[in-house]
Amino acid sequence: MSTEPWWRRAVVYQVYPRSFADSDGDGIGDIRGILQRLDHIAALGVDAVWLSPVYVSPQVDNGYDISDYQAIDPTFGTLADLDELIEAMHARGLRLVMDLVVNHTSDQHPWFQESRDPASPRRDWYIWRPGRPDPDDPGATLPPNNWSSVFLGSAWELDPVSGEYYLHSFTPQQPDLNWAEPAVRQAVYAMMRWWLDRGVDGFRMDVINLISKPEGLPDAEQGNQLEMVVNDPGLHRYLAEMRREVFDAYPDRTFLTVGEMLAVTPEQAVLATDPARRELDMVFQFEHMDVDHGALGKYDPQPLDLRALKASLARWQEMLAGQGWNSLYLNNHDQPRVVSRWGDDVRYWRESATLLGGVLHLHQGTPFVYQGEEIGMTNYPFARPEDYRDVEAARAYEIATMMGLPEELILGSMARMSRDNARTPMQWDGDAEAGFTTGRSWLPVHQNHLWLNVAAQQDDPHSVLSFYKRLIALRKAEDVITTGSFRLLEPDHERLWAFVRESGDQRLLVVANVSGDPLRLPAGDPFAALDGGRLLIGNYPDGAGDAPGGAEGGAGAEPGVLRPWELRAVYV
Ligand code: TEU
């Protein structure tokens, strides 16, 4: 008999430590702050926490630039604090998944410092290449190839110490490790085992599909290194090796491994998550998050085309069914807040926040809830360039300005898409600084914390928070959500998001009105059965489905009509 791994019925909560809770008043969140707020996490009913990086780091990219993998940054606390966190979480039945950032290190990591010397045995731990001759200037060189960094600009930096260039997929302060060098892989695996020995329960692997670079580092057709790197077959060899060398050393424990993969296709994701291939448990893909990117990419945001969003998620549901496993997310520390992005955070804030969460959680896969999502936190009204803290925003601003784009346009798209939107402090209560810190927060607290906060939603049965708790509980209680098949309905409808989940004789119909106007459902099967069916969950108070025995399909609503931003999941 095969036993099902715990993460198949799990919901994971992401903590971005810098912005979650500050215990010492320095304005930056820390591990003791998380300890003080564990009750909130446990009360959600989630199974695990993914903790964004807390390792020693110069913090150029808020901890995604690590200079010591086996120590905690003093900003966040000590190793003893982390051990305490592991223990306290385990005591509550919560697992801890750490962030693993091994495509690159910080340029301050001793490995890189040594590597800068061409004679060092660590020279090959990073990717060094001589420049190409510059036809216009005989005394100068050009970067070794035309790859651009994910954060824009060239992916190469000339190091004056040796006169050669090194590759950095992100900022110049984040040099890429050379995974082709066996000693690098062994050092990473040893570090991972060290963390597993401390009790951590798995890893979220940062941009893991960038680790294997193509032989010879050829130019990219469009200059974007991602097209050359993300499908390199070497990735699967490294992931399988990591599985053997790290996770197989603990036959009695079941870990969670989730690999963040830029520009990944469902075909690649199946290869990476098919249990028989023994690589990863699931991946974070980006296709559904990119549907509103315009021709110029992320900072060229377009209005949501619902058809594209639901088709993308449906495609992943179908392609991975029975073969791989999906992660499900709409928010994380790199994405603007979804209620502002695709919902209506003014007129239908509560309804649209719950609709988006509800639709996502009723898909198949493992849902991830990002801190603040469970209370419907919104984007921050950023206005001036100096309001931003994120290094990616700074680079985007600089390059857009160089391109001569109008200031107003640049600032408008940054306000909508910047990662800082996700990073404003968690809103615990209506006090100054939202209960996040007794000092002054590193990034401003949103003014709406006066009413949008955990304390205000705690005891309100109709709050976003209460809705998320019910959603999370459903995943444990209802088999059809975990294992049922998925079929998208009305794919061409511009406002209706509808699908059916089926398992045995259970048939769950999910309908959602992604608009501020009433929506009359199509006639016929299965929609006709909606009003007579047993409501499992809905986001309007009069059809909440939490009455004993289940309420009727939607009291208060006109039959066959969904109200603005209304979601209903009904057994039909
Ligand atoms: O992110 C990978 C990444 O490239 C995107 O999430 C990125 O923020 C966006 O697509 C660019 O517009 C991971 C981490 O989650 C992120 O915080 C780090 O900055 C990045 O890797 C580098 O480590």
- C-beta 264 within 6 A of ligand 1: no
pLDDT at 2: 59
How close are the terminal C-alpha atoms of the chain, in Å? 32
> What's the pLDDT at 441?
98
CA of 55 to the centre of ligand 1 (A): 17
Task: Examine residue 5 and say whether the peptide bond preceding it is cis (omega within 30 degrees of 0).
Answer: no
Structure tokens at 249: 């050393």
Q: Which residues contact 379 (CB under 8 A, 6 or more apart)?
A: 336, 337, 340, 341, 345, 415, 416, 421
Is the pLDDT reported for residue 172 higher than 70? yes
For the segment 331-358, the average pLDDT, to the nearest whole number, is 98
Report how far residue 525's alpha carbon sits from residue 533's, in angstroms, rounded to the nearest whole number.
12
Q: Is the Cβ atom of 263 under 6 angstroms away from ligand 1?
A: no
d(CA 196, CA 198): 5
For residue 553, is pLDDT > 70? no
Q: How far apart are CA 109 and CA 71, in angstroms?
A: 12
Over residues 282-301, the mean pLDDT reads 95
- C-alpha 410 to ligand 1 mean position (Å): 20
- Give the separation between CA 465 and CA 444, rounded to whole angstroms: 23
What distance in angstroms lies between residue 208's CA and the mean position of ligand 1's atoms? 11
Residue 18 tokens read as 């810098």
The arithmetic mean of pLDDT across residues 280-306, rounded, is 96
Closest ligand 1 atom number to CA of residue 334? 8
Structure confidence at residue 550 as a pLDDT band (50, 70, 90): very low
Nearest in space to 269 (alpha carbons), one of 317, 336, 198, 229: 317
**Rounded alpha-carbon distances, angstroms, from residue 54 to 20, 61, 70, 99, 240:** 12, 12, 10, 8, 27
Regarding the beta carbon of 206 and ligand 1, being less than 6 Å apart is answered yes
Q: Which atom of ligand 1 is nearest to the CA of 64?
A: 23
Residue listed under structure tokens 């091994």: 102
Question: Does the structure show a pLDDT above 90 at 11?
Answer: yes
Res 41 pLDDT > 60: yes
**Pair 307, 291: CB distance under 8 Å:** no
- Amino acid 221 reads E
β-bridge pairing 202-205 and 95-100? parallel
Pocket test for ligand 1, best of 334, 399, 420 (most atoms within 8 A of CB): 334
pLDDT per residue over 301-339, tens digit each? 999 999 999 999 999 999 999 999 999 999 999 999 999
Is the pLDDT score of 222 beyond 90? Answer: no
Is pLDDT above 50 for 447?
yes
What is the position in ligand 1's atom list of the atom closest to the CA of 391?
Answer: 19
pLDDT greater than 60 at residue 545: no
Q: Residue 130, Cβ neighbours under 10 Å: how many?
A: 11
For ligand 1, say whether the CB of 65 is within 6 Å of any of its atoms.
Answer: no
- The structure tokens listed for 493 are 């409808």
Band (152; pLDDT cuts 50, 70, 90):
confident
Residues annotated as part of the active site: 206, 260
Average pLDDT, the chain: 95
- Closest atom of ligand 1 to 65 CA is 23
3-state helix, strand, coil in the chain (%, to 5): 35, 20, 45
Percent of the chain with pLDDT over 90: 92
> Rounded to an integer, what is the distance from CA 209 to the centroid of its chain?
15
The pLDDT of residue 95 is: 98
What value does the mean pLDDT take over residues 281-306? 96
Question: Cβ-count burial of 36 within 10 angstroms (0-12 exposed, 13-18 middle, 19+ buried)?
Answer: middle
Cα–Cα distances in Å, from 251 out to 96, 157, 243, 247, 254?
18, 43, 11, 8, 8
pLDDT in tens, 452-485: 999 999 999 999 999 999 999 999 999 999 999 9
Contact 225, 242 (CB under 8 A): no
Entry pTM = 0.96
Q: Give dist(CA 529, CA 570) in Å, integer.
A: 9
Q: Are 469 and 463 in contact (CB under 8 A)?
A: no
Over range 182-206, report the average pLDDT: 98
Q: Comparing C-alpha atoms, which of 416, 349, 358 is closest to residue 377?
A: 349
- Reference 181, options 112, 238, 103, 124; nearest CA is 124
pLDDT of residue 125: 98
Instruction: Give mean pLDDT, residues 126-148.
Output: 95
Q: What is the pLDDT of residue 296?
A: 87
| Predicted confidence band of residue 556 (pLDDT cuts 50, 70, 90) | low
Q: Which residues have C-beta within 8 Å of that of residue 548, sequence separation ≥ 6?
A: none
- Mean pLDDT over residues 146-157, rounded? 93
- C-beta neighbour count of 97 within 10 angstroms: 22
Give, using CA atoms, the residue closest to atom 18 of ligand 1. 64
pLDDT at 551: 43
Distance of CA 303 to CAs 26, 60, 307, Å? 39, 32, 12
- Band (pLDDT 50/70/90 cuts) for residue 543 is low
